A and B are shown apart, each in its own frame.
Chain A
Amino acid sequence: MKLNKKSILRAILFAILCIVGFTTLYPLIWMAYTSLKSNPEIIMSTFALPKTLHFENYVNAWKTANMGVYFSNSIFVCVASIILTIMVGSLAAFILAKFRFKGKKFVYSLFIVGMLIPMQAVLVPLFIQMRTLKLLDSPFSLILSYTAFGLTITIFILESFIKSFPDSIIEAGIMDGGEIRHIFLKMILPMSRPALATVIILNFLNNWKEFSFALIFISTDRKKTLPLGLYNFIGAYSSNYAELMAAMMIVSVPIIVLYLILQEQIINGMTAGAVKG
């Protein structure tokens, strides 16, 4: 009897998942087939399937958004800033989670500050700051800003994750004669794999889509990143939606692939990372 009740519950749950899942999956499907329509078709009917397939949208989009150049720039900036964020952020998170010192709460609160102000409010001061640092029109302006603004969420998620490791594990490591940096590298980081994967996804996503900083800091064409290219389709009086959708499909591929790889890491972390103290 009990089993029966459980399976009904499961079926209901599965149905709800499917409905919600459909609403989240549909936009991607819509984007995919809209990217193959012509502009007049999109204007006349938003949801209809394409009558003929306009694959040339992809070729044109690649050219208009200057993707040949912008793609590698985006990859470089995103990868560099994520490596930096993870290095700097995981270390700080470890210290904040496990060490005891005066002013710890102040430092923790300080990192919250980065999230409390609308990005649009810091554009002008950050522009001035980058000029002072002589970093304008350099990819490092983006790498540094993405790292700095990514630190908040990185430290937050990692700190709360590391905090729940029992102290006894670390203490056992020290008893065995390990130095603190070895414990950090060989024990804490591997154990944090699920949280690290999460943080990498979230930061990559933010940096990959980030538009305002790139707009303000970068002026030279060969240094621009993908989101700037995407806006080449949006005119003041008419927009080229067909090519915009094609370009967005291309831009979405790397994130989706990255997510597919990392989400397995989040779950598999359970067995792989469970180093018993």
Chain B
Amino acid sequence: MLKRILSVILMGCLLFTLAGCSAKAPESKTEPVTSNKTEPTAKVEDKQEQPVEKVKFSLWHSFVGADQRAEFMEKRMADFRALHPEYEIDEQKMPRDQYQTKLKTEAAGGELPEAFLIWPNAMTQEFASASLLKDINGYLEANTEWRDSFVSRALDEFTVDGKTYSAGLGVSITSIVYYNKALFEQYNVTYPTSYAELLNAIKVFKDKGIIPIALGNKAKWPAQSTIFSCLANRVTGSEWLDRALSNSGSKFTDPEFIDALSKLKELTDVGAFNKDYNTIDEVEVRSYFYKGEAAMMIGGSWILPDMIKNAPEELKANIEMTILPGFERGKGDPNTMSGVSSTGIVMSAKVTPEQQAAIEELIHFLTNEESQIMYAAYNIPVSSKTVVINESEMDPLYNKMLALIKKYPLVAVYDSAMNSELTDIVNNGLQGIMIGSQTPEDLAAELQKAVE
């Protein structure tokens, strides 16, 4: 026994020595950043000696599986390769969670691929502020027509301190209300125009054994991204969130925010959601809607390709799309929905000039007019305001979404406005409020504390 205790103490000592050393040894501290510097320079020399060699770079992204984005990417990358035989691209694709793990592990180890997929806002900010990315400002300046074709958030959400790092591969609307017209007619309900009417509609469906709103919140972000972002905006208005986050004039403990949280709680308590909303994910929940067991489903534009492919035909004819109703005494514009730019390709700060040119070419290629038309062909909302989509060729559901986009401006999604830590608090906090383990006041105070 004594020896075992001794061995623990020994281990402990080792640790403390390590910790002690680190204070005195700056070279080991910076290691993750410096250790890799030799490699890119070696590559530059390579290029200068043999100018005929192909420009090689690796590209990592998460477009795999049955997603239509995966099909888009596969097709578009084949086109790009055919167009540019002088580039040699090592493409690595893996699912989202695994992609994040691999990317962040290698970033922590001081290695990054030359080109990779990044999420707008929080993730872009983290990578940019660690000086890991190279901006495309020069390229945007040189190609103003392309630059000006974008809806503003496709570039803005990849911009940190005046430097733009990417352009969004489309846009994601996060809070479309899909509803089953047949069920509404069957039970004599009209789509609500106010919060009171919404509560009433919920009650009617609930009494008839129909799920009023299908929700799959296992992953924690759906309630925040698809419901609460828009709901809170209806109550507080857009400026309030900006002020609260920048700590200038508004606080999360303000009554309007607590009111918004309480509304989500009320919706849960009156039974607006399926019983298993905490334990199924955002994909599984769709089956309730597809089977006609749910009257409404609030979700993003990313559901659309799946819906068009997998929902039964007779149901599809009954699907309508709209937005959350306005709220009585709400400070927000009732004619908005929440949205965010889709992911985009960025390049590592360590690229050679040749690689930079090639990757900029790729970013351009994946967001040019031809690509935008292909987004539409795969039922993804476009990030261009100039592209013309031939509606007669499109699925009727896609056209319904286009109508929404034309009619309603987008407001910020909470997780796009917040950093990852605040997002984590909100996502878990909303779950806590819905199951009653946390009060709206508690969550408001916790958020306010984190902001300060």
Contacts and interface: CB of A to CB of B under 8 A. Distances in A.
A109 B7 contact: yes
A33 B155 CA distance: 47
Given A43-B290, A110-B7, A215-B94, A238 B306 contact: yes
A265 interface: no
Interface stretch (A48-56, A194-202, A226-234): A226-234
Interface string A204-245: 000000011001100100000000100111111111100000
Interface string B88-111: 001011111010011001101111
B244 interface: no
B105 A216 contact: yes
B388 interface: no
B4 A109 contact: yes
A63 interface: no
Interface string B75-92: 000000000000000101
B70 interface: yes
A231 B312 CA distance: 27
Nearest to A231: B95
A19 interface: no
Interface stretch (B61-69, B175-183, B233-241, B325-333): B61-69
Which interface residue of A106, A233, A237, A239 has the most chain B CB atoms within 10 A? A237
**Is the contact region of chain B dominated by helix, strand, or loop, or is it mixed?**
helix
Contacts of B3: 103, 105-106
A44 interface: yes
Interface string B1-34: 0011011101000000000000000000000100
B220 interface: no
Nearest to A237: B302
A115 B35 CA distance: 29
Which interface residue of B35, B283, B290 has the most chain A CB atoms within 10 A? B283
Interface string A99-115: 00001011001100000
B98 A215 contact: yes
Interface string B46-76: 0000000000001000101111011000000
A232 B110 CA distance: 26
B7 A43 contact: no
Nearest to B62: A236
B208 interface: no
A127 interface: yes
Given A235-B66, A238-B67, A127 B310 contact: no
B310 A236 contact: no
B65 A235 contact: yes
Contacts of A215: 94, 98, 101-102
A235 B303 CA distance: 12
Contact of B70 (A103, A127, A235): A235
A177 interface: no
A183 to B, nearest CB: 28
Nearest to B3: A105
A239 B287 contact: no
B305 interface: yes
A10 interface: no
Interface string B289-309: 011000000000011011000
A44 B287 contact: yes
Contact of B7 (A40, A44, A106): A106
A258 interface: no
B286 interface: yes
A267 to B, nearest CB: 35
B102 A105 contact: no
B283 A239 contact: yes
A105 B105 contact: no
B393 to A, nearest CB: 23
A231 B290 CA distance: 26
A237 B111 CA distance: 28
A131 interface: yes
Contacts of A120: 101
Contact of B105 (A103, A123, A219, A234): A123
Nearest to A240: B66
A39 interface: yes
Contacts of A127: 105-106, 108-109
B291 A124 contact: no
Contacts of A180: none
A128 interface: yes
A256 B90 CA distance: 36
A22 to B, nearest CB: 24
Contacts of B109: 124, 127-128, 131
Contacts of B95: 231, 234-236
A220 to B, nearest CB: 8
Contacts of B69: 235, 237
Nearest to B31: A128
Contact of A228 (B94, B305, B306): B94
Given A127-B106, A131-B109, A239-B283, A105 B67 contact: no
Nearest to A236: B96
A236 B172 CA distance: 13
Contacts of B8: 109
A248 B77 CA distance: 29
A106 B14 CA distance: 15
A109 B305 CA distance: 54
Interface of B: 3-4, 6-8, 10, 32, 35, 58, 62, 64-67, 69-70, 90, 92-96, 98, 101-102, 105-106, 108-111, 283, 286-287, 290-291, 302-303, 305-306, 310, 312
Given A212-B101, A239-B66, 5 more contacts: A40-B312, A235-B65, A235-B66, A237-B302, A238-B67
8 contacts: A40-B310, A43-B287, A43-B290, A124-B105, A131-B109, A219-B92, A236-B65, A237-B306
Of all A-B residue pairs in the complex, the 7 with the closest CB atoms, nearest first, are A235-B65, A235-B67, A240-B66, A238-B306, A124-B108, A236-B96, A127-B109
Interface of A: 39-40, 43-44, 103, 105-106, 109-110, 120, 123-124, 127-128, 131, 211-212, 215-216, 219, 228, 231-240
